[in-house]
Amino acid sequence: MKKEWQEPQLEVLNITMTMANPHSGNHLDYTYEEGTPREDLTWS
């Protein structure tokens, strides 16, 4: 039995959980080298 094409359903994403402020939060987003200036760190 051949399947019929169904148009994919698009999901509306909530963007309030993005990194709008890279300097707030409790967890680093990356493993930075020792000595990286604090203003270069990103948090979530």
Inter-residue contact 41 to 24 (CB < 8 Å):
no
What pLDDT shows up at residue 9?
93
Look at residues 4, 8, 40, 11 and name the one whose alpha carbon lies nearest to residue 23.
40
Tens digits of pLDDT across the chain (44 residues): 788 999 999 988 776 655 555 556 677 767 888 888 888 877 76
Look at residues 33, 29, 16, 15 and name the one whose alpha carbon lies nearest to residue 43.
29
What pLDDT shows up at residue 20?
54
Cβ partners under 8 Å of residue 19, min gap 6: 29, 42, 44
